[in-house]
Structure 1
Amino acid sequence: MADAVKQGRWARRLTWIALILSVGGVVAALIAALGSGNGAWHFRVGFTVLRYAFFAAIAGGVLAIVALVLSQRAKVPGLRTRNVFAAAIALVFVIFLGRQIYTARTVPAIHDVTTDLEEVPEFRALHVREDNLENVPGQDEPELARLSPEDRWKALHREAYADVQPIRVSWTVPETIAKAQALADKRGWDIAYVDPARGRLEATDTTRFFRFKDDVVIRARKDPEGKGAIVDMRSISRVGGSDVGVNARRIREFLKDLRQS
């Protein structure tokens, strides 16, 4: 009897701690992201908070399971729902953030992605960040260390994003840019420059929570093998070293939708 009472007491304590850690971790992550996005603090501060929130959620999930077991043994009513809720919140958050961490570890720490590495689309209205090639990884790898930063970036890009390729469409160059502009508007991008006759569009996409700004240039040229156009695209982050695959995903999704428009 005494053991059951003791287990029940611990079950209640652990339940509250689990709720605080699980729900608090999610809330802290949201505040960190939104605060960084609104300029309240540097995005690296937000990332630091995000890391601790991740560990807090893991701890909360584990404690929720322990508290659930104790409450079942002690037959304490009213704790099952709270612990299941805490565990579920922690699980969803950890899976979501864990996928981001996994992606970050499986893609190179670059932030400039394009469909054409030989004749990279250039910006005219927008500008490439000054430190764009300052911290390209690979300096410690013998086969990459001897390369220039630009060639090292291209080597990493080819290996990771071989599927990011230009597309061929059946429209004229002006028609292609007009469709690209309509699609960019639909996505809520800020259009900085558009010239259908010359086959160029530049825009800025802003991520949802951290409000990172990524610049995009879309280039359409007459297809020498047909009546349509060849479309290239480049997406580059304004800050940070690794984009966690965001720019490549943006290009894939945009060109897929453009092809189907």
Structure 2
Amino acid sequence: MASSIFKPRPRGGVWPVVVAWLGIVLLVAAAALMAGAGTAYRWEWVSLGTSFSLLRQGAHLAVAAGAVGLVTVLVAAFCRRWRPVMVGLLTSTAVVAMVALPAQMMQRAQSVPPIHDITTDLEKPPAFEALAGARDAAPNAVAYPQRFAAQQQAAYGRLSAITLPVPMADAMAAVEATVEARGWEIAAVGDARLEATATTRWFGFKDDVVIRLTETSDGVRIDMRSASRVGQSDLGTNAARIQSFLNDLAARADD
């Protein structure tokens, strides 16, 4: 009768559960800080420096949550408490997913030059006109910094203009359609140039784009420039944007 009333105490007592819950709390706090860092800056609630501080704090908490998750697995496995073991494994897995993007950003920052303005024409970069005012109010320069040319050539030497074998009107129509498909905010469209702004999803960074069309004997040459308004390094974003855009544009012109 007594054995049916008094159940044996689980091995380890409450500690496997307590440690598991600690990992979950740290994980939720880390996720809130890391996700909120970009949102807070995007909505102009905090400065860029503060948002990066929040991101770092979130990453540190995530690492702590991962460590607690591993401790949970060890303690719970020793005590043969399989539910806390699963919680610890899930916590550690979630941490790996959370820190993957910041880790990738850090790796890219070390592999690309600390520049934020990229162009397909280093000798005569396309100039911003409609967006000159917005860029003048931002920290980064309006004109292409010529000191970037050597670093750009070394890092992105294959980046170059393309030539579309179509009339000027068709080339501009393809350019405008490709810009609209990417959701960029068009600032100005002329007969041979287009200016637009691309906004990143997480932090809402504004990167300005100018596309210049020039008639040649082979068709229409497309030159492009993409420049960030803030930040010394763009982590390779502008070069990737230009290359991806020109690839899509060439494919659209061939259709």
Q: What TM-score results when the alignment is normalised by the length of structure 2?
A: 0.87
Amino acid at match of 1:173: M
- Counterpart CA distance in 1 for 2:141 and 2:131 is 17
Residue 9 of structure 1 and its aligned partner are, at CA, apart by 4.0
Q: Which residue does 1:212 correspond to in 2?
A: 205
Per mean C-alpha deviation after superposition, the further-off stretch among 157-166 and 212-221 is 157-166
Task: Report whether the alignment pairs 1:21 with 2:14.
Answer: no
Which residue number in structure 1 is paired with residue 237 of structure 2? 246
- Counterpart-to-counterpart distance in 2, 1:232 and 1:44: 34
2:196 matched to which residue of 1?
Answer: 203
Aligned to 1:87: 92
In structure 2, the partner of 1:132 is 140
Which position in structure 1 is the counterpart of 2:43? 38
| Correspondences of 1:1-261 after superposition (within 5 Å) | 5-6=11-12, 9-127=14-132, 128-129=135-136, 131-132=139-140, 150-195=145-190, 197=191, 199-224=192-217, 226=218, 228-261=219-252
Conservation of the 8 A alpha-carbon contact between 2:130 and 2:188:
yes
Q: Deviations over 1:14-65 (max 9, x none)?
A: 2122212223212211111101001111122111111111121122112211
**C-alpha displacement of 1:108:** 1.4
CA contact (8 A) 1:37 1:43 kept: no
In the alignment, what sits opposite 1:146?
Answer: none
Instruction: Specify the code of the residue in structure 2 equivalent to 1:97.
Output: P
Read off the aligned partner of 1:103 and give its amino acid letter. R
Decide which moves more: 27-36 or 171-180.
Answer: 171-180
Conservation of the 8 A alpha-carbon contact between 1:25 and 1:54? yes
Max radius of gyration: which structure? Answer: 2
SS of the equivalent of 1:91 reads: helix
Inter-partner Cα distance in structure 2 for 1:112 and 1:23? 37
Structure 2 CA distance for aligned equivalents of residues 87 and 222 of structure 1: 57
Separation in structure 1 between the aligned mates of residue 158 and residue 64 of structure 2, nearest angstrom: 39
Gaps of 5+ in 1: 135-148
- Where does structure 2 lack aligned partners over 5 or more consecutive residues? 1-9
Kept after mapping to 2: 8 A contact 1:125/1:202: yes
Shift of 1:161: 1.5
Aligned residue identity for 1:214: D
CA 1:151 to 1:193, structure 2 compared with 1: closer, same or farther past 3 Å? closer
* Number of residue pairs the alignment of both structures matches: 239
Q: Is the 8 A contact 1:23 1:86 kept in 2?
A: no
- Contact 1:10–1:67 (CA under 8 A) maintained in structure 2: no
Displacement of 1:131 after TM fit?
4.9
Tell whether the 8 Å contact from 1:108 to 1:242 is kept in structure 2 after alignment: yes
Shift of 1:5: 4.2
CA contact 2:139–2:229 (8 Å) conserved in 1: no
Q: Which residue of 2 aligns with 1:139?
A: none
Q: For structure 1, which segment, 76-85 or 182-191, has the greater mean C-alpha deviation from structure 2 after superposition? A: 76-85
Q: How much is the aligned-residue C-alpha RMSD, in angstroms?
A: 2.0
Q: Distance in 1 between matches of 2:109 and 2:225?
A: 20
Amino acid paired to 2:240 = R
SS at match of 1:95: helix
CA contact (8 A) 1:37 1:212 kept: yes
CA contact (8 A) 2:11 2:80 kept: no
More deviation, 71-80/210-219? 71-80
